[in-house]
């Protein structure tokens, strides 16, 4: 049985799972769907065609599913989906998608969106992602599984943040970050691999050692990126981690890549 505070405004059209808790002064719109055991603390707003997965907890003054900050948006039937057991802290904003994207914004399961993080329209966020306090994701950003974006960092629209990568605090990311990479700085550069994150995720010592060798070859100063990528693919394609980086670089994107300071920004 759900527990709804007397001051909350829950539209009759909203769909609520079992054991949902909705605190004081929350607003839940007519197209919202809340899974089992969802908890909304006070002053939470859930609007639009928004689905909140089971076990999510959303803290005061967060808003999920409101209109995007896009002047071309005309009340299109777009959506927001939040996966199971995701934690959304105070003042987080997650906006619905637009027709220029896929009409959908998605946040995966077991994510942690800390105070004041912003997920713009059409973002696609994987599972187990952490956005630290004040992170801003522009429209159409994708973030791979297990990535961590440090506090007060901003990610340019359409940028891809690879799986298990790490963005240092107060960084401005205007280029794609490879899986397992680590980026730091205002207009962030690639600063090696996220070795600590790889160890925490349980990747083997041998996998990490091979990945290091592939990384050094890929971002050496010799030859073109295309030539180095071909060499890495020939030598390390059997390595699961290196394969993810190879596929990431070969896939379509409108952005350049984050590279080390001693390597020229590669063209595609």
Catalytic one of 121, 126, 144, 176: 121
Whole-model pTM: value is 0.95
Distances (CA, A) of 238 to 145, 215, 235, 243: 21, 15, 8, 7
Q: Is residue 139 annotated as a catalytic residue, yes or no?
A: yes
> Is residue 9 classed as helix, strand or coil in its secondary structure?
strand
Q: Is residue 162 annotated as a catalytic residue, yes or no?
A: no
Angle (nearest 5°) at CA 89 between 88 and 94:
50
Catalytic one of 83, 139, 144, 151: 139
Distance CA 28, CA 175 (A): 37
Looking only at the bridges linking them, the beta strands covering 33-34 and 49-52 are parallel
At 163-195, the pLDDT tens digits run 999 999 999 999 999 999 999 999 999 999 999
Q: Grade residue 262 by pLDDT with cuts at 50, 70 and 90.
A: confident
Catalytic one of 35, 53, 70, 122: 122
Q: Is residue 121 annotated as a catalytic residue, yes or no?
A: yes
- For residue 1, the model assigns a pLDDT of 81
At 216-246, the pLDDT tens digits run 999 998 889 899 999 999 999 899 999 999 9
Helices 240-250 and 205-218 cross at an angle (nearest 10°) of 30
Distance CA 45, CA 60 (A): 9
- For residue 266, the model assigns a pLDDT of 55
Q: Grade residue 261 by pLDDT with cuts at 50, 70 and 90.
A: confident
Mean of pLDDT values over 84-113: 98
Mean of pLDDT values over 114-138: 98
At 131-152, the pLDDT tens digits run 999 999 999 999 999 999 999 9
């Amino acid at each position: 049985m759900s527990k709804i505070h007397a001051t909350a405004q829950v539209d009759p059209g909203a769909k609520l799972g079992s054991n949902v808790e909705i605190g004081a002064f929350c607003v839940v719109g007519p197209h919202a769907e809340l899974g089992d055991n969802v908890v909304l603390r006070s002053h939470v707003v859930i609007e639009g065609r928004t689905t909140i997965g089971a076990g999510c907890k959303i803290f005061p003054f967060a808003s999920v599913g409101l209109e995007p900050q896009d002047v071309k948006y005309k009340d299109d039937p777009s959506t927001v989906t939040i996966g199971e057991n995701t934690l959304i802290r105070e003042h987080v904003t997650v906006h619905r998608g637009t027709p220029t994207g896929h009409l959908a914004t998605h946040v995966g399961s077991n994510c942690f969106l800390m105070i004041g993080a912003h997920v713009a329209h059409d973002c696609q966020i994987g599972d187990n992602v952490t956005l630290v306090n004040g992170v801003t994701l522009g429209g159409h950003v994708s973030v791979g599984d297990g990535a961590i974006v440090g506090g007060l960092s901003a990610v340019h629209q359409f940028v891809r943040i690879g799986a298990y990568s790490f963005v240092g605090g107060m960084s401005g990311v205007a280029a794609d970050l490879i899986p397992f990479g680590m980026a730091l700085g205002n207009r962030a550069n690639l600063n090696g691999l996220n070795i600590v994150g790889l160890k925490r995720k349980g990747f083997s010592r041998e996998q990490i050692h091979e990945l290091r060798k592939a990384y050094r070859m890929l971002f050496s100063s010799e030859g073109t990126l295309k030539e180095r990528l071909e060499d890495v693919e020939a030598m390390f394609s059997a390595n699961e981690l290196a394969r993810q980086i190879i596929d990431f670089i070969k896939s379509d994107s409108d952005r350049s890549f984050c590279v080390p300071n001693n390597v020229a920004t590669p063209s595609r």
